[in-house]
Amino acid sequence: MSDIIQLLSDAVASQIAAGEVIQRPASAVKELLENAIDAGSSKIRLVLKDAGKTLIQVTDDGIGMSELDARLCFERHATSKIRSVDDLFTLHTMGFRGEALASIAAIAQVEMRTKRSQDETGTQVNIEGSEVISQQPYAGNTGTTFIIKNLFYNVPARRNFLKSNAVETRHIIEEFTRVALVNPEVAMSLVHNDATVFDLRSGNFRQRIASVFGNIYNERLVPVEEDTTIVKIQGYVGKPEFSKKVRGEQYFFVNNRFIKDAYLHHAVNAAFENMIPRDCFPTYFLKIDIDPASIDVNIHPTKTEIKFDDEKSVYAIIRAAVKRALGKFSIAPAIDFEQERSFDIPLEKMNERPVPPSIQLTPGYNPFNSTSKTETQQNFNASGKTNFYPAENRSTVNRWSKLNHDIEQALPQGVITVPSFEPDTLHESAFVQVYRQYIFISAQPSVLLIDQQRAHERILFEKYSRSLENNAPVTQQQLFPQPLEFTADEAVILTELVPQLRSFGFDIAPFGQHTFVIHGSPEEVIVGTEKKLLSGLIDQFMHHRDVLKSDARQQMAVNLSKQLSVKSGQVLSNKEMKELITNLFQCEHPYLTPAGKPVAVMLSPEKLARLFTDMESGRIQQTNSSVQQF
């Protein structure tokens, strides 16, 4: 039997190694930017074509390289920062040239121009697929320029697995942002397809954050600073009210290197405990300086994960530092655990005499006069005392609310077929809003319970679905076009979503760097809320990117109907409730939301009787005497 073990050629071995280091254009961008930083650059320019698939060009004004270094930096295992094994545990730089350059040269057409200040001429090297094509003198400015053309040109299978230009551009922006944030003293720019995405001037850390994410972040940030013998922490955290439901603005930098660490992320979350919802994520930009000997940065190929010798102490210090910063700037409320809060009286009311409650009477009110009753209801609605009932009937409303809650808890979950009826035939008084969330309809012989938000979601979803089918969106034009500014990452996503948005009635177009101008929107959109609505759609797209790929327009119809629907807690008039229910039962599927949740539940006399029977037998806990009195 012949031998089966063979040595790979250098070209094949280099391509395999390149696949581990350079996974996509963003990987090459990261390596080139970090090398430019280590070269002592004060200005870096990144130019892209087709999301880096066609061209990646990085130009810096660093120290440059000699003729020999220019050639050796493309060799495998070439580096400037390691001389012995001990150097692996005392790294202070990202890596000067070398390392990843050999991987990039194996799967792309590379041209490098470099010159040192003390040399009269520089060096230009051309490489294709690890093979040196030419090396010749170069006359130019001090610094280095890398031109990477046709990434993965000789590995077509790898190139086919690259995502769309929009997705790859987002990955590049993410890597660019990480390098730019931690190096605010370096001026950096990013140009994609001849359009400027970033043009960042040198400054301090806070100025760089505002330059990348927008000037509005100046008022959202709280400074964090802690200096101990174990670790030094500097940076900023976002105020709790600006937390988001998607990740993306969480940055840890250990010794000026971006890392991902779920354990340290939990430390920041713990500091925000009871200040943000559980499904939200705080914003933070934290620099951590620590002795390189106490961490291991080589546990992950991309160096985005590290190992701490004493991670519990680092966790405790980060948590305490963030919590102290929030308390120092009066973000976290102070709590006295020794004080009895049951009889806590505000200081401003300590010396005030208690005012007995007054009863508002309506002279001439006649409960048997429908006209008088309607006028009374309108008066109370205008005064804000109650929603739809006069003062004499408030207790009845409260009893209905309590009964509604107990029925809601007792009945099984699911959709119950509702007998057909015509909402148009019902008087407006047949509709009652409970908890500002549910609508009771007295549809003899049963009672119908409808969730107002879910009902409106179904109505809007079918409206948008019909608009998509007929290709006839309805747009409410604005008198004055409104410019909306987004972050660079959001702008890339919104550019991808513009065609889908136009099919729903949005008249929106790009307008300069990170800015869009909106001329019109669907009629349900309130003027002035467009930025919040679009930001919500962008967050949904980032959070459910894989789902949206299947049917982006259908998923956007779901998201739009959810965001524009009447929310729980919104007071509806009897006329509005009737209109809502009428539109609901004109839908093709009125009993389910687009997400498949029940919209309506029928409470038949039999079910109500069974509820009281269960109460008598003790199967339902009676915790409030108001139900028994009812």
Stretch 294-312: mean pLDDT? 79
Q: Which of 364, 272, 270 is nearest to 315 (CA)?
A: 270
Question: For residues 296 and 188, which has the higher predicted lDDT (pLDDT)?
Answer: 188
Question: Which of 275, 305, 328 is a domain's end point?
Answer: 328
Is 53 within the bounds of a domain?
Answer: yes
Question: Stretch 42-69: mean pLDDT, rounded?
Answer: 94
CA distance 326 to 335: 14
Indicate if 191 and 226 belong to the same structural domain.
Answer: no
State the pLDDT confidence band at 17, using cuts at 50, 70 and 90: low
75 with 110, same domain: the answer is: yes
- From the list 403, 383, 311, the residue with the least C-alpha distance to 615 is 403
At 398 the pLDDT is: 44
* Average pLDDT of span 421-433: 68
Q: Are residues 161 and 233 in the same domain?
A: no
pLDDT tens digits, one per residue of 384-423 = 333 333 333 334 344 334 434 444 444 444 444 444 456 6
Do residues 178 and 271 both lie within one domain?
Answer: no
Joined together, the tokens standing for residue 605 give: 């006399």
What average pLDDT does this structure show over 254-258? 91
Give a yes or no: residue 618 inside a domain. Answer: yes
Residue that has been written with the tokens 């301090």 in this structure: 204
**What is the distance between the alpha carbons of residues 334 and 35, in angstroms, rounded to a whole number?**
47
If asked whether residues 130 and 226 sit together in one domain, one would say no
Q: Domain boundary at 294, 328, 362, which?
A: 328
Average pLDDT of the residues in 513-532 = 87
Same domain, 89 and 41: yes
176 versus 429: the higher-pLDDT residue is 176
Q: Calculate mean pLDDT across residues 216-237.
A: 92
Tally of domains in the chain: 3
Do residues 532 and 401 share a domain? yes
Give 400 or 580, the one with higher predicted confidence: 580
Q: Has residue 215 been placed in a domain?
A: no
Phi/psi for 533 (5° steps) reads -65, -50
Q: What average pLDDT does the segment 439-443 reach? A: 79
Q: Per the domain annotation, does 204 fall within a domain?
A: no
Instruction: Provide the CATH number for the domain around residue 610.
Output: 3.30.1370.100
Mean pLDDT calculated for residue range 605-629 = 64
156, 259: one domain = no
Is residue 47 situated within a structural domain? yes
Q: Which residue has the higher pLDDT, 611 or 520?
A: 520
Q: Which has the higher per-residue pLDDT, 273 or 4?
A: 273
Q: Is residue 248 predicted with pLDDT exceeding 50?
A: yes
For residue 140, give its domain range. 10-199
Secondary structure (3-state) at 128: strand
pLDDT attached to residue 413 = 45
Burial class of residue 210 in the structure, from the number of CB atoms within 10 Å of its CB (0-12 exposed, 13-18 middle, 19+ buried): middle
3-state secondary structure 243-284: CECCCCCEEEEECCEEECCHHHHHHHHHHCCCCCCCCCECCE
pLDDT at 629 (0 to 100) = 37
According to the per-residue pLDDT averaged within each range, which of 283-287, 335-339, 359-363 is highest? 283-287
pLDDT digits (tens, 9 = 90+) for 105-119: 888 999 999 999 999
Question: Which domain-ending residue is among 168, 199, 230?
Answer: 199
Q: Which of 208-222, 370-384, 546-560 has the lowest mean pLDDT?
A: 370-384
CA distance 562 to 560: 5
Beta strands in 411-541, from DSSP E residues, in sequence order: 431-434, 438-443, 446-451, 476-485, 507-510, 515-521
Q: Has residue 211 been placed in a domain?
A: no
**What integer is the mean pLDDT of 65-79?**
82
Asked whether residue 379 carries a pLDDT value surpassing 60, the answer given is no
Three-class secondary structure of residue 555 per DSSP: helix
Tell me, rounded to whole angstroms, the distance of Cα 461 from its chain centroid: 23
pLDDT, mean over the chain? 78
Vertex 36, ends 31 and 40: CA angle to 5°? 145
Residue 519 · residue 480 · CB < 8 Å: no
Of 594 and 385, the one with more pLDDT: 594
* In the predicted structure, residue 457 carries a pLDDT above the cut 50: yes
Closest CA to 53 of 169, 137, 197, 190: 169
Residue 529 is predicted with a pLDDT of 86
pLDDT at 513 > cutoff 80: no
Residue 204: per-residue pLDDT: 94
Do 187 and 251 belong together in one domain?
Answer: no
Within a domain: 508: yes
Is residue 152 located within the same domain as residue 275?
no
Q: State whether 318 and 467 are in the same domain.
A: no
Task: Give CA–CA dist 266/221, Å, rounded.
Answer: 19
- Is residue 224, in this structure, part of any structural domain at all? yes
Question: Do 454 and 592 fall within a single domain?
Answer: yes
User: Could you tell me the pLDDT band of residue 224, with boundaries at 50, 70 and 90?
Assistant: very high
| Domain CATH code at residue 104 | 3.30.565.10
Confidence of residue 133 (pLDDT cuts 50, 70, 90): very high
Name the least confident of 42-51, 126-135, 593-602.
593-602
Q: How far is 35 from 64, CA to CA, in rounded Å? A: 11
Q: Mind listing the pLDDT tens digit for each residue in 262-289?
A: 899 999 999 998 888 888 889 999 999 9
Report the pLDDT averaged over residues 185-189.
95
Instruction: Between 412 and 161, name the one with better pLDDT.
Output: 161
Asked if pLDDT for residue 563 goes beyond 60, the answer is yes
- Pick from 331-345, 362-376, 391-405, 535-549: least confident: 391-405
Say if residue 52's pLDDT is above 60: yes
- Mean pLDDT for 157-184 is 91
Q: What is the structure's pLDDT at 503? A: 87
